[in-house]
C-alpha cells in the first residue's frame, strides 16, 4: 500500500471529455475591450444585437502594428474633387450659346453622334435643311395641348425654341433646327435633351389589358 501511495503523485489526472482547452478562451485584454463596447452600447439605450459583428475598437496589438497606415482612406490619403468635362456632362446640362450666321451647320457625322445622346428623335430634311424631329402619340386633344405647354416650360429658359405642331387630335410633332445657319447646331441637341425630360406617362394612350 505504501508503494502505491508513493507512486500516486506521478500519475497525471485523466482529462475530462467535456473539458475545454485553454486556447479556446479569449485573452483578458480582449474580454475587457468587448466589455467596454457592450457597456457603451447599453449606456446609449441600445441593445447589443450584433455581438462581435460590425465595427469595433482596434485591439492594442493592432494599434501597435500601425495597420492603419496601409488602409485606403487613411488621414494621409490625398483626396481630389474631379470636375467633369463637357464630354461627361449630359446635353441637357449644357447651355445654349449665340450662333453667328457665319458658323457652318454641324457635319452629318457629328449630327449622327449627337443623335445617340437624345431619345426618340430622328434626323429629317425639309426644303434642303437638316433638322431634328420627334413625334408623340397622346390620348386626346387636351393631352396634346398639355404636352406643348410642358415642352414650352422646359425650353423657355434656353432661348432656343422648337417648332411645335398639334397634328390630328392626338399627335404632337416637334422640329428643331437653327434658322440662322440653315441647319443643325449644338443648341438643337441641347434643347432636344431637355425636352426628353418632359413627363409624358400620364398623357399617352392607356394600354388595353385583355382578360
What's the pLDDT score for residue 48? 47
Sign of CA dihedral 193, 197, 201, 204: negative
User: Do the Cβ atoms of 124 and 132 come closer than 8 Å?
Assistant: yes
Question: Mind listing the pLDDT tens digit for each residue in 18-52?
Answer: 554 544 455 666 666 666 656 654 555 555 444 44
Tracing cell 457629328 back to the chain, one arrives at 110
- Mapped onto helix, strand or coil, the DSSP state of residue 123 is strand
Query: Using one digit for the tens of pLDDT, what is the confidence trace for 116-162?
Result: 999 999 999 998 899 999 999 999 999 999 999 999 999 999 999 99
pTM score: 0.57
Reported as a pLDDT band with limits 50, 70 and 90, residue 113 is very high
Q: For residue 7, what pLDDT band results from cuts at 50, 70 and 90? A: very low
71-85 mean pLDDT: 51
Q: What pLDDT, on a 0 to 100 scale, did the predictor assign at position 206?
A: 81
Q: CB of 188 within 8 A of CB of 132?
A: yes
How much is the pLDDT for 71? 55
Rounded to whole angstroms, how far apart are CA atoms 48 and 113? 57
- From first CA to last CA, the distance across the chain in angstroms is 99
pLDDT of residue 187: 95
Instruction: Enumerate domains of the chain plus CATH numbers.
Output: 28-63 (no CATH), 91-195 (3.30.1360.20)
Q: Strands of the chain (E only): list them.
A: 122-126, 129-137, 163-167, 171-176
Amino acid at each position: 500500500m505504501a508503494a502505491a501511495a508513493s507512486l500516486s503523485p506521478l500519475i497525471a489526472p485523466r482529462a475530462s471529455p467535456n473539458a475545454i482547452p485553454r486556447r479556446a478562451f479569449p485573452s483578458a485584454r480582449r474580454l475587457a475591450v468587448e466589455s467596454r463596447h457592450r457597456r457603451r452600447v447599453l449606456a446609449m439605450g441600445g441593445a447589443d444585437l450584433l455581438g462581435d459583428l460590425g465595427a469595433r475598437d482596434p485591439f492594442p496589438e493592432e494599434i501597435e502594428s500601425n495597420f492603419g497606415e496601409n488602409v485606403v482612406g487613411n488621414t494621409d490619403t490625398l483626396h481630389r474633387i474631379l470636375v467633369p468635362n463637357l464630354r461627361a456632362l449630359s446635353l441637357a446640362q449644357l447651355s445654349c450659346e449665340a450662333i453667328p450666321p457665319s458658323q457652318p451647320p454641324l457635319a452629318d457625322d457629328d449630327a449622327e453622334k449627337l443623335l445617340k445622346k437624345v431619345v426618340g428623335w430622328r434626323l429629317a430634311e425639309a426644303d434642303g435643311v437638316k433638322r431634328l424631329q420627334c413625334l408623340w402619340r397622346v390620348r386626346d386633344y387636351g393631352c396634346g395641348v398639355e404636352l406643348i405647354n410642358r415642352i414650352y416650360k422646359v425650353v423657355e429658359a434656353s432661348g432656343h425654341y422648337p417648332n411645335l405642331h398639334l397634328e390630328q387630335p392626338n399627335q404632337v410633332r416637334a422640329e428643331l433646327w437653327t434658322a440662322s445657319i440653315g441647319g443643325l447646331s449644338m443648341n438643337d441637341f441641347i434643347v432636344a435633351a431637355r425636352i426628353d425630360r418632359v413627363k409624358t406617362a400620364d398623357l399617352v394612350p392607356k394600354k388595353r389589358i385583355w382578360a
